[in-house]
Structure 1
Protein backbone atom coordinates (compact mmCIF):
# COMPACT_ATOMS: atom_id res chain seq x y z
CA UNK A 1 0.00 0.00 0.00
CA UNK A 2 1.31 3.47 -0.90
CA UNK A 3 1.74 5.82 2.04
CA UNK A 4 1.65 9.55 1.46
CA UNK A 5 3.78 10.79 4.34
CA UNK A 6 3.13 14.44 3.54
CA UNK A 7 -0.64 13.91 3.72
CA UNK A 8 -0.33 12.01 6.99
CA UNK A 9 1.88 14.78 8.40
CA UNK A 10 -0.53 17.54 7.32
CA UNK A 11 -3.49 15.69 8.83
CA UNK A 12 -1.55 15.21 12.05
CA UNK A 13 -0.64 18.91 12.10
CA UNK A 14 -4.30 19.94 11.83
CA UNK A 15 -5.41 17.47 14.50
CA UNK A 16 -2.68 18.62 16.89
CA UNK A 17 -3.72 22.24 16.40
CA UNK A 18 -7.36 21.43 17.15
CA UNK A 19 -6.37 19.51 20.30
CA UNK A 20 -4.26 22.42 21.55
CA UNK A 21 -7.04 24.89 20.70
CA UNK A 22 -9.63 22.83 22.59
CA UNK A 23 -7.27 22.65 25.57
CA UNK A 24 -7.02 26.44 25.55
CA UNK A 25 -10.80 26.83 25.29
CA UNK A 26 -11.47 24.55 28.26
CA UNK A 27 -8.78 26.19 30.40
CA UNK A 28 -9.88 29.71 29.38
CA UNK A 29 -6.34 30.43 28.23
CA UNK A 30 -5.71 33.23 25.69
CA UNK A 31 -5.39 32.20 22.05
CA UNK A 32 -1.81 32.71 20.89
CA UNK A 33 -1.92 31.61 17.29
CA UNK A 34 1.83 31.71 16.68
CA UNK A 35 2.59 29.57 19.74
CA UNK A 36 -0.20 27.15 18.87
CA UNK A 37 1.05 26.73 15.31
CA UNK A 38 4.62 26.18 16.52
CA UNK A 39 3.45 23.64 19.10
CA UNK A 40 1.35 21.85 16.47
CA UNK A 41 4.33 21.74 14.11
CA UNK A 42 6.57 20.22 16.78
CA UNK A 43 3.84 17.72 17.68
CA UNK A 44 3.40 16.70 14.04
CA UNK A 45 7.13 15.96 13.66
CA UNK A 46 6.48 12.68 15.46
CA UNK A 47 5.12 11.42 12.14
CA UNK A 48 8.43 12.23 10.45
CA UNK A 49 10.37 10.48 13.19
CA UNK A 50 8.35 7.31 12.64
CA UNK A 51 10.03 6.94 9.22
CA UNK A 52 13.56 7.33 10.60
CA UNK A 53 15.92 5.03 12.55
CA UNK A 54 15.01 6.88 15.79
CA UNK A 55 11.39 5.66 15.65
CA UNK A 56 11.94 3.13 18.45
CA UNK A 57 13.32 5.88 20.70
CA UNK A 58 10.18 8.01 20.31
CA UNK A 59 7.95 5.04 21.13
CA UNK A 60 9.28 4.89 24.70
CA UNK A 61 6.66 6.04 27.28
CA UNK A 62 9.03 8.44 29.06
CA UNK A 63 10.00 10.05 25.75
CA UNK A 64 6.32 10.43 24.83
CA UNK A 65 5.67 12.12 28.16
CA UNK A 66 8.60 14.53 27.79
CA UNK A 67 7.60 15.25 24.20
CA UNK A 68 4.05 16.08 25.33
CA UNK A 69 5.45 18.39 28.00
CA UNK A 70 7.51 20.16 25.33
CA UNK A 71 4.40 20.65 23.18
CA UNK A 72 2.45 22.12 26.11
CA UNK A 73 5.36 24.37 27.08
CA UNK A 74 5.57 25.77 23.55
CA UNK A 75 1.79 26.31 23.38
CA UNK A 76 1.13 27.78 26.83
CA UNK A 77 4.49 28.61 28.34
CA UNK A 78 5.48 28.13 31.97
CA UNK A 79 4.47 30.39 34.86
CA UNK A 80 4.36 27.97 37.76
CA UNK A 81 4.08 24.22 38.20
CA UNK A 82 0.35 24.19 38.81
CA UNK A 83 -0.29 26.28 35.70
CA UNK A 84 1.89 24.00 33.58
CA UNK A 85 0.59 20.68 34.95
CA UNK A 86 -3.01 21.84 34.55
CA UNK A 87 -2.37 22.47 30.86
CA UNK A 88 -0.49 19.17 30.44
CA UNK A 89 -3.19 17.05 32.07
CA UNK A 90 -5.95 18.86 30.17
CA UNK A 91 -4.06 18.25 26.92
CA UNK A 92 -3.94 14.53 27.71
CA UNK A 93 -7.61 14.53 28.71
CA UNK A 94 -8.65 16.22 25.46
CA UNK A 95 -6.50 13.82 23.44
CA UNK A 96 -7.91 10.72 25.12
CA UNK A 97 -11.47 12.04 24.95
CA UNK A 98 -11.42 12.85 21.24
CA UNK A 99 -9.43 9.74 20.39
CA UNK A 100 -11.83 7.58 22.36
CA UNK A 101 -14.79 9.29 20.72
CA UNK A 102 -13.33 8.65 17.29
CA UNK A 103 -12.65 5.01 18.17
CA UNK A 104 -16.22 4.58 19.45
CA UNK A 105 -17.66 6.26 16.37
CA UNK A 106 -15.65 3.93 14.13
CA UNK A 107 -16.98 0.80 15.82
CA UNK A 108 -20.49 2.21 15.96
CA UNK A 109 -20.63 2.31 12.16
CA UNK A 110 -18.75 -0.94 11.66
CA UNK A 111 -21.04 -3.79 10.58
CA UNK A 112 -18.56 -6.65 10.79
CA UNK A 113 -15.51 -7.65 12.79
CA UNK A 114 -12.51 -8.14 10.49
CA UNK A 115 -10.75 -10.88 12.45
CA UNK A 116 -13.98 -12.93 12.48
CA UNK A 117 -14.56 -12.61 8.74
CA UNK A 118 -10.95 -12.82 7.49
CA UNK A 119 -9.15 -16.16 7.43
CA UNK A 120 -5.81 -14.57 8.18
CA UNK A 121 -4.50 -11.62 10.14
CA UNK A 122 -1.97 -9.20 8.75
CA UNK A 123 0.10 -6.58 10.50
CA UNK A 124 2.40 -3.77 9.58
CA UNK A 125 -0.06 -1.60 7.68
CA UNK A 126 -0.26 2.07 8.56
CA UNK A 127 -3.88 2.60 7.65
CA UNK A 128 -6.14 2.59 4.65
CA UNK A 129 -7.71 5.20 2.44
CA UNK A 130 -11.05 4.63 4.12
CA UNK A 131 -9.62 4.90 7.65
CA UNK A 132 -7.84 8.18 6.91
CA UNK A 133 -10.95 9.59 5.25
CA UNK A 134 -12.88 8.58 8.36
CA UNK A 135 -10.38 10.46 10.53
CA UNK A 136 -10.62 13.55 8.31
CA UNK A 137 -14.41 13.61 8.56
CA UNK A 138 -14.92 12.13 12.02
CA UNK A 139 -12.34 14.04 14.04
CA UNK A 140 -13.87 17.52 13.50
CA UNK A 141 -17.28 16.11 14.45
CA UNK A 142 -15.95 14.48 17.62
CA UNK A 143 -13.96 17.65 18.43
CA UNK A 144 -17.04 19.87 18.08
CA UNK A 145 -19.24 17.44 20.03
CA UNK A 146 -16.67 17.22 22.85
CA UNK A 147 -16.35 21.00 23.00
CA UNK A 148 -20.12 21.50 23.20
CA UNK A 149 -20.60 18.82 25.86
CA UNK A 150 -17.79 20.09 28.06
CA UNK A 151 -19.10 23.65 27.83
CA UNK A 152 -22.53 22.36 28.85
CA UNK A 153 -21.00 20.58 31.84
CA UNK A 154 -19.14 23.75 32.79
CA UNK A 155 -22.33 25.82 32.62
CA UNK A 156 -24.12 23.25 34.79
CA UNK A 157 -21.25 23.33 37.29
CA UNK A 158 -21.30 27.12 37.51
CA UNK A 159 -25.07 27.06 37.85
CA UNK A 160 -24.92 24.40 40.57
CA UNK A 161 -22.43 26.48 42.54
CA UNK A 162 -24.98 29.33 42.53
CA UNK A 163 -27.83 27.14 43.78
CA UNK A 164 -29.01 27.64 47.36
CA UNK A 165 -31.67 26.20 49.64
CA UNK A 166 -34.38 28.71 50.51
CA UNK A 167 -36.98 28.72 53.28
CA UNK A 168 -39.85 31.21 53.12
CA UNK A 169 -41.94 31.78 56.24
CA UNK A 170 -45.41 33.27 55.84
CA UNK A 171 -48.40 33.08 58.17
CA UNK A 172 -46.76 30.26 60.20
CA UNK A 173 -46.29 28.27 56.99
CA UNK A 174 -42.85 27.25 55.73
CA UNK A 175 -42.02 26.79 52.05
CA UNK A 176 -38.76 25.02 51.20
CA UNK A 177 -37.47 25.49 47.65
CA UNK A 178 -34.26 25.72 45.62
CA UNK A 179 -33.05 29.09 44.38
CA UNK A 180 -30.35 30.41 42.11
CA UNK A 181 -28.30 33.51 42.88
CA UNK A 182 -28.63 35.79 39.87
CA UNK A 183 -26.03 38.56 39.85
CA UNK A 184 -27.99 40.26 37.06
CA UNK A 185 -31.10 40.58 39.22
CA UNK A 186 -31.12 44.18 40.43
CA UNK A 187 -34.85 44.37 41.11
CA UNK A 188 -35.65 46.22 44.33
CA UNK A 189 -38.25 48.46 45.89
CA UNK A 190 -37.40 52.01 44.72
CA UNK A 191 -38.36 53.49 48.11
CA UNK A 192 -37.21 51.00 50.76
CA UNK A 193 -34.41 49.50 48.60
CA UNK A 194 -35.53 46.05 49.73
CA UNK A 195 -34.33 43.38 47.26
CA UNK A 196 -36.98 41.40 45.40
CA UNK A 197 -36.85 37.61 45.13
CA UNK A 198 -38.88 36.02 42.31
CA UNK A 199 -40.68 32.75 43.07
CA UNK A 200 -42.38 30.36 40.70
CA UNK A 201 -46.10 30.80 41.39
CA UNK A 202 -47.11 27.14 41.29
CA UNK A 203 -44.85 26.18 44.23
CA UNK A 204 -46.88 28.51 46.46
CA UNK A 205 -50.17 26.81 45.71
CA UNK A 206 -51.25 24.95 48.79
CA UNK A 207 -49.04 27.14 50.95
CA UNK A 208 -51.08 30.32 50.63
CA UNK A 209 -54.66 30.85 49.40
CA UNK A 210 -55.08 30.73 45.61
CA UNK A 211 -56.84 34.10 45.67
CA UNK A 212 -53.64 35.70 46.97
CA UNK A 213 -51.68 34.21 44.08
CA UNK A 214 -54.25 35.33 41.50
CA UNK A 215 -54.25 38.86 42.90
CA UNK A 216 -50.49 39.10 42.54
CA UNK A 217 -50.42 37.69 39.02
CA UNK A 218 -53.16 40.12 37.91
CA UNK A 219 -51.62 43.33 39.14
CA UNK A 220 -54.14 45.46 37.20
CA UNK A 221 -56.97 44.12 39.36
CA UNK A 222 -55.39 45.18 42.64
CA UNK A 223 -57.56 47.82 44.27
CA UNK A 224 -60.55 47.07 42.06
CA UNK A 225 -61.60 43.92 43.92
CA UNK A 226 -61.94 43.06 47.57
CA UNK A 227 -59.03 41.10 48.96
CA UNK A 228 -57.92 39.51 52.18
CA UNK A 229 -57.03 42.39 54.49
CA UNK A 230 -54.18 40.46 56.11
CA UNK A 231 -52.51 39.90 52.75
CA UNK A 232 -53.27 43.37 51.40
CA UNK A 233 -51.24 44.84 54.26
CA UNK A 234 -48.26 42.80 53.10
CA UNK A 235 -48.65 43.62 49.41
CA UNK A 236 -47.24 46.49 47.41
CA UNK A 237 -46.62 47.30 43.76
CA UNK A 238 -43.24 48.28 42.34
CA UNK A 239 -42.15 49.27 38.83
CA UNK A 240 -39.76 47.07 36.86
CA UNK A 241 -38.35 47.11 33.38
CA UNK A 242 -37.42 44.31 30.97
CA UNK A 243 -34.83 45.05 28.27
CA UNK A 244 -36.56 46.16 25.08
CA UNK A 245 -39.97 46.52 26.75
CA UNK A 246 -41.81 49.41 28.42
CA UNK A 247 -41.91 49.76 32.18
CA UNK A 248 -44.32 47.43 33.97
CA UNK A 249 -45.70 46.93 37.45
CA UNK A 250 -45.00 43.94 39.67
CA UNK A 251 -47.00 42.96 42.74
CA UNK A 252 -44.81 41.90 45.66
CA UNK A 253 -45.44 40.89 49.25
CA UNK A 254 -43.38 40.90 52.41
CA UNK A 255 -42.85 37.48 54.02
CA UNK A 256 -42.32 36.99 57.73
CA UNK A 257 -38.74 35.94 57.04
CA UNK A 258 -36.54 34.20 54.50
CA UNK A 259 -33.66 31.83 55.32
CA UNK A 260 -30.98 30.90 52.79
CA UNK A 261 -28.41 28.12 53.00
CA UNK A 262 -25.31 29.46 51.30
CA UNK A 263 -21.83 27.88 51.51
CA UNK A 264 -22.98 25.42 54.19
CA UNK A 265 -24.33 28.21 56.43
CA UNK A 266 -27.90 29.30 57.05
CA UNK A 267 -28.58 33.02 57.02
CA UNK A 268 -31.73 34.98 57.77
CA UNK A 269 -32.90 37.83 55.54
CA UNK A 270 -35.49 40.13 57.06
CA UNK A 271 -35.56 42.94 54.52
CA UNK A 272 -36.87 41.25 51.38
CA UNK A 273 -39.90 41.29 49.09
CA UNK A 274 -41.25 38.43 46.99
CA UNK A 275 -42.69 38.62 43.49
CA UNK A 276 -44.31 35.82 41.51
CA UNK A 277 -43.74 34.45 38.03
CA UNK A 278 -46.49 32.41 36.43
CA UNK A 279 -44.06 30.38 34.29
CA UNK A 280 -41.39 27.83 35.19
CA UNK A 281 -38.10 29.55 36.00
CA UNK A 282 -36.05 26.48 35.11
CA UNK A 283 -37.02 24.13 32.25
CA UNK A 284 -35.55 21.22 34.22
CA UNK A 285 -37.06 22.41 37.52
CA UNK A 286 -33.55 22.75 38.97
CA UNK A 287 -34.61 25.82 40.92
CA UNK A 288 -37.91 27.54 41.71
CA UNK A 289 -36.83 31.03 42.72
CA UNK A 290 -34.34 33.73 41.75
CA UNK A 291 -32.37 35.09 44.69
CA UNK A 292 -31.22 38.71 44.68
CA UNK A 293 -27.45 38.94 45.40
CA UNK A 294 -28.06 41.62 48.06
CA UNK A 295 -29.87 38.97 50.09
CA UNK A 296 -26.58 37.08 50.41
CA UNK A 297 -24.63 40.23 51.24
CA UNK A 298 -27.07 41.51 53.87
CA UNK A 299 -28.15 38.17 55.31
CA UNK A 300 -27.28 37.45 58.94
CA UNK A 301 -25.83 34.00 59.57
CA UNK A 302 -27.62 32.00 62.24
CA UNK A 303 -24.57 31.71 64.47
CA UNK A 304 -24.28 35.52 64.53
CA UNK A 305 -27.99 36.18 64.96
Structure 2
Protein backbone atom coordinates (compact mmCIF):
# COMPACT_ATOMS: atom_id res chain seq x y z
CA UNK A 1 0.00 0.00 0.00
CA UNK A 2 1.27 3.44 -0.95
CA UNK A 3 0.76 6.43 1.32
CA UNK A 4 0.49 10.08 0.31
CA UNK A 5 1.54 12.57 2.96
CA UNK A 6 -0.54 15.75 2.81
CA UNK A 7 2.32 18.07 3.77
CA UNK A 8 4.63 16.60 1.10
CA UNK A 9 1.87 16.82 -1.50
CA UNK A 10 1.14 20.44 -0.60
CA UNK A 11 4.72 21.68 -0.83
CA UNK A 12 5.58 19.71 -3.96
CA UNK A 13 2.44 21.04 -5.64
CA UNK A 14 3.32 24.56 -4.48
CA UNK A 15 6.80 24.20 -5.96
CA UNK A 16 5.43 22.78 -9.22
CA UNK A 17 2.70 25.37 -9.76
CA UNK A 18 4.99 28.29 -8.96
CA UNK A 19 7.56 27.15 -11.52
CA UNK A 20 4.80 26.59 -14.11
CA UNK A 21 3.72 30.22 -13.64
CA UNK A 22 7.33 31.37 -13.84
CA UNK A 23 8.00 29.44 -17.06
CA UNK A 24 4.81 30.85 -18.59
CA UNK A 25 5.88 34.40 -17.71
CA UNK A 26 9.28 33.82 -19.28
CA UNK A 27 7.80 32.48 -22.49
CA UNK A 28 5.31 35.37 -22.74
CA UNK A 29 8.07 37.90 -21.88
CA UNK A 30 6.16 39.37 -18.95
CA UNK A 31 7.43 41.45 -16.10
CA UNK A 32 7.70 38.92 -13.29
CA UNK A 33 5.01 39.25 -10.60
CA UNK A 34 6.30 36.69 -8.13
CA UNK A 35 3.71 37.39 -5.42
CA UNK A 36 0.87 36.71 -7.82
CA UNK A 37 2.55 33.51 -9.00
CA UNK A 38 2.93 32.43 -5.39
CA UNK A 39 -0.75 33.15 -4.71
CA UNK A 40 -1.76 31.08 -7.76
CA UNK A 41 0.56 28.28 -6.64
CA UNK A 42 -1.01 28.30 -3.16
CA UNK A 43 -4.43 27.84 -4.76
CA UNK A 44 -3.10 24.97 -6.87
CA UNK A 45 -1.50 23.31 -3.85
CA UNK A 46 -4.72 23.62 -1.83
CA UNK A 47 -6.67 22.07 -4.72
CA UNK A 48 -4.20 19.15 -4.95
CA UNK A 49 -4.70 18.41 -1.28
CA UNK A 50 -8.50 18.74 -1.44
CA UNK A 51 -8.72 16.02 -4.10
CA UNK A 52 -7.59 13.41 -1.56
CA UNK A 53 -9.90 14.49 1.27
CA UNK A 54 -12.88 12.10 1.71
CA UNK A 55 -15.51 14.82 1.95
CA UNK A 56 -14.18 16.66 -1.10
CA UNK A 57 -13.83 13.81 -3.57
CA UNK A 58 -15.95 15.74 -6.09
CA UNK A 59 -12.97 18.10 -6.53
CA UNK A 60 -11.30 15.40 -8.64
CA UNK A 61 -13.81 15.89 -11.48
CA UNK A 62 -12.66 17.28 -14.83
CA UNK A 63 -14.84 20.35 -14.42
CA UNK A 64 -13.27 21.24 -11.09
CA UNK A 65 -9.81 20.74 -12.60
CA UNK A 66 -10.69 23.25 -15.33
CA UNK A 67 -12.14 25.71 -12.80
CA UNK A 68 -9.01 25.42 -10.65
CA UNK A 69 -6.71 25.97 -13.65
CA UNK A 70 -8.78 28.97 -14.80
CA UNK A 71 -8.65 30.57 -11.34
CA UNK A 72 -4.91 30.02 -11.13
CA UNK A 73 -4.49 31.65 -14.54
CA UNK A 74 -6.59 34.65 -13.49
CA UNK A 75 -4.64 35.12 -10.27
CA UNK A 76 -1.26 34.85 -11.98
CA UNK A 77 -1.95 36.69 -15.24
CA UNK A 78 -5.13 38.71 -14.73
CA UNK A 79 -4.60 42.28 -15.91
CA UNK A 80 -1.86 41.43 -18.41
CA UNK A 81 -2.30 42.96 -21.86
CA UNK A 82 -2.77 39.50 -23.42
CA UNK A 83 -4.31 37.73 -20.47
CA UNK A 84 -6.05 34.95 -22.42
CA UNK A 85 -2.91 34.22 -24.41
CA UNK A 86 -0.94 33.93 -21.15
CA UNK A 87 -3.58 31.60 -19.71
CA UNK A 88 -3.46 29.44 -22.85
CA UNK A 89 0.34 29.24 -22.60
CA UNK A 90 0.01 28.32 -18.91
CA UNK A 91 -2.32 25.43 -19.77
CA UNK A 92 0.00 24.31 -22.58
CA UNK A 93 3.03 24.38 -20.28
CA UNK A 94 1.11 22.43 -17.63
CA UNK A 95 0.07 19.82 -20.20
CA UNK A 96 3.65 19.55 -21.50
CA UNK A 97 4.94 19.07 -17.97
CA UNK A 98 2.33 16.41 -17.20
CA UNK A 99 3.18 14.59 -20.40
CA UNK A 100 6.89 14.70 -19.56
CA UNK A 101 6.24 13.14 -16.15
CA UNK A 102 4.18 10.36 -17.73
CA UNK A 103 6.82 9.72 -20.40
CA UNK A 104 9.64 9.54 -17.84
CA UNK A 105 7.56 7.22 -15.68
CA UNK A 106 7.00 4.85 -18.60
CA UNK A 107 10.69 4.99 -19.46
CA UNK A 108 11.63 3.92 -15.94
CA UNK A 109 8.86 1.33 -15.81
CA UNK A 110 7.26 2.88 -12.72
CA UNK A 111 3.96 4.53 -12.08
CA UNK A 112 4.02 8.35 -11.96
CA UNK A 113 4.63 9.06 -8.28
CA UNK A 114 5.44 12.26 -6.43
CA UNK A 115 9.23 12.52 -6.41
CA UNK A 116 11.26 15.72 -6.16
CA UNK A 117 14.04 14.43 -8.42
CA UNK A 118 11.50 13.49 -11.07
CA UNK A 119 9.90 16.96 -10.85
CA UNK A 120 13.25 18.73 -11.21
CA UNK A 121 14.17 16.55 -14.18
CA UNK A 122 10.85 17.19 -15.89
CA UNK A 123 11.13 20.92 -15.34
CA UNK A 124 14.62 20.98 -16.80
CA UNK A 125 13.43 19.14 -19.92
CA UNK A 126 10.27 21.23 -20.33
CA UNK A 127 12.03 24.53 -19.75
CA UNK A 128 14.72 23.68 -22.30
CA UNK A 129 12.24 22.58 -24.96
CA UNK A 130 9.90 25.52 -24.45
CA UNK A 131 12.79 28.00 -24.40
CA UNK A 132 14.03 26.66 -27.75
CA UNK A 133 10.53 27.04 -29.19
CA UNK A 134 10.21 30.59 -27.83
CA UNK A 135 13.59 31.63 -29.24
CA UNK A 136 12.82 30.12 -32.65
CA UNK A 137 9.52 32.00 -32.76
CA UNK A 138 11.33 35.20 -31.86
CA UNK A 139 13.84 34.69 -34.68
CA UNK A 140 11.01 33.90 -37.10
CA UNK A 141 9.34 37.15 -36.21
CA UNK A 142 12.64 38.86 -37.17
CA UNK A 143 12.41 41.40 -34.39
CA UNK A 144 13.51 41.76 -30.80
CA UNK A 145 11.46 42.93 -27.88
CA UNK A 146 12.23 43.74 -24.26
CA UNK A 147 10.19 43.77 -21.07
CA UNK A 148 10.24 47.29 -19.63
CA UNK A 149 9.31 48.21 -16.06
CA UNK A 150 8.99 51.86 -15.02
CA UNK A 151 8.67 53.16 -11.44
CA UNK A 152 7.43 56.58 -10.40
CA UNK A 153 6.26 57.79 -7.00
CA UNK A 154 5.96 54.22 -5.71
CA UNK A 155 3.88 53.03 -8.68
CA UNK A 156 4.93 50.67 -11.45
CA UNK A 157 3.95 49.80 -15.01
CA UNK A 158 5.18 46.96 -17.21
CA UNK A 159 4.98 46.68 -21.00
CA UNK A 160 6.74 45.18 -23.99
CA UNK A 161 8.92 47.45 -26.11
CA UNK A 162 10.17 46.86 -29.65
CA UNK A 163 13.96 47.20 -29.85
CA UNK A 164 14.52 49.33 -32.94
CA UNK A 165 18.16 49.33 -34.03
CA UNK A 166 17.44 52.43 -36.12
CA UNK A 167 16.08 54.39 -33.17
CA UNK A 168 18.62 57.15 -32.47
CA UNK A 169 16.33 59.27 -30.31
CA UNK A 170 18.19 60.83 -27.38
CA UNK A 171 18.15 63.92 -25.21
CA UNK A 172 19.98 66.64 -27.19
CA UNK A 173 21.29 68.18 -23.94
CA UNK A 174 22.44 65.17 -21.90
CA UNK A 175 22.57 62.49 -24.61
CA UNK A 176 20.36 60.21 -22.49
CA UNK A 177 18.62 57.36 -24.29
CA UNK A 178 14.82 57.62 -24.65
CA UNK A 179 12.13 54.93 -24.68
CA UNK A 180 8.94 56.00 -26.46
CA UNK A 181 5.79 54.71 -24.75
CA UNK A 182 2.14 54.65 -25.76
CA UNK A 183 -0.24 56.48 -23.38
CA UNK A 184 -2.18 53.29 -22.63
CA UNK A 185 0.89 51.58 -21.15
CA UNK A 186 1.41 54.46 -18.70
CA UNK A 187 -2.04 54.36 -17.11
CA UNK A 188 -0.97 52.16 -14.13
CA UNK A 189 1.97 54.52 -13.55
CA UNK A 190 -0.13 57.71 -13.72
CA UNK A 191 -3.63 56.81 -12.47
CA UNK A 192 -4.42 60.43 -11.52
CA UNK A 193 -3.36 61.78 -14.91
CA UNK A 194 -5.31 59.59 -17.31
CA UNK A 195 -7.10 62.59 -18.83
CA UNK A 196 -3.74 64.26 -19.36
CA UNK A 197 -2.49 61.25 -21.33
CA UNK A 198 -5.30 61.75 -23.85
CA UNK A 199 -3.92 65.15 -24.93
CA UNK A 200 -2.47 64.77 -28.42
CA UNK A 201 -0.66 68.13 -28.69
CA UNK A 202 2.78 67.83 -26.98
CA UNK A 203 2.97 71.51 -25.97
CA UNK A 204 -0.48 71.39 -24.41
CA UNK A 205 0.41 68.11 -22.68
CA UNK A 206 3.56 69.53 -21.06
CA UNK A 207 1.65 72.66 -19.99
CA UNK A 208 -1.08 70.55 -18.38
CA UNK A 209 1.54 68.34 -16.69
CA UNK A 210 2.64 71.36 -14.67
CA UNK A 211 -0.64 71.14 -12.73
CA UNK A 212 -0.40 67.37 -12.21
CA UNK A 213 0.88 66.23 -8.79
CA UNK A 214 2.44 63.19 -10.46
CA UNK A 215 4.34 65.02 -13.22
CA UNK A 216 4.81 68.59 -11.96
CA UNK A 217 8.39 69.67 -12.68
CA UNK A 218 9.23 66.37 -14.37
CA UNK A 219 8.08 66.83 -17.98
CA UNK A 220 9.63 68.82 -20.81
CA UNK A 221 9.82 68.82 -24.60
CA UNK A 222 12.58 67.53 -26.85
CA UNK A 223 12.82 67.87 -30.65
CA UNK A 224 12.93 64.84 -32.92
CA UNK A 225 13.23 64.13 -36.62
CA UNK A 226 11.93 61.13 -38.56
CA UNK A 227 10.97 60.14 -42.07
CA UNK A 228 7.57 61.73 -41.50
CA UNK A 229 9.13 65.08 -40.57
CA UNK A 230 10.15 66.84 -37.39
CA UNK A 231 8.31 67.60 -34.18
CA UNK A 232 8.35 67.66 -30.40
CA UNK A 233 8.00 64.85 -27.88
CA UNK A 234 6.99 65.21 -24.21
CA UNK A 235 9.50 63.37 -21.99
CA UNK A 236 9.90 62.77 -18.27
CA UNK A 237 12.42 61.01 -16.06
CA UNK A 238 11.03 57.98 -14.12
CA UNK A 239 12.42 57.10 -10.69
CA UNK A 240 13.80 53.85 -12.13
CA UNK A 241 13.72 51.82 -15.33
CA UNK A 242 14.38 48.09 -15.78
CA UNK A 243 14.95 46.49 -19.18
CA UNK A 244 14.55 42.71 -19.10
CA UNK A 245 15.04 42.86 -15.34
CA UNK A 246 18.27 44.92 -15.47
CA UNK A 247 18.45 48.45 -14.06
CA UNK A 248 19.03 51.17 -16.70
CA UNK A 249 20.11 54.50 -15.28
CA UNK A 250 19.46 57.80 -17.06
CA UNK A 251 16.79 56.44 -19.41
CA UNK A 252 14.05 58.96 -20.23
CA UNK A 253 10.43 58.16 -21.13
CA UNK A 254 8.63 59.87 -24.00
CA UNK A 255 4.89 59.71 -24.65
CA UNK A 256 3.52 59.03 -28.13
CA UNK A 257 0.46 57.18 -29.42
CA UNK A 258 2.57 56.09 -32.41
CA UNK A 259 4.67 53.84 -30.15
CA UNK A 260 2.01 51.09 -29.98
CA UNK A 261 1.96 48.22 -32.45
CA UNK A 262 1.26 44.52 -32.82
CA UNK A 263 2.58 42.96 -29.62
CA UNK A 264 4.37 46.02 -28.22
CA UNK A 265 3.51 49.29 -26.48
CA UNK A 266 6.83 51.08 -26.68
CA UNK A 267 9.95 51.54 -28.81
CA UNK A 268 13.47 51.42 -27.43
- TM-score using structure 2 length: 0.48
- What's the TM-score, normalizing by structure 1? 0.43
Larger Rg: 1
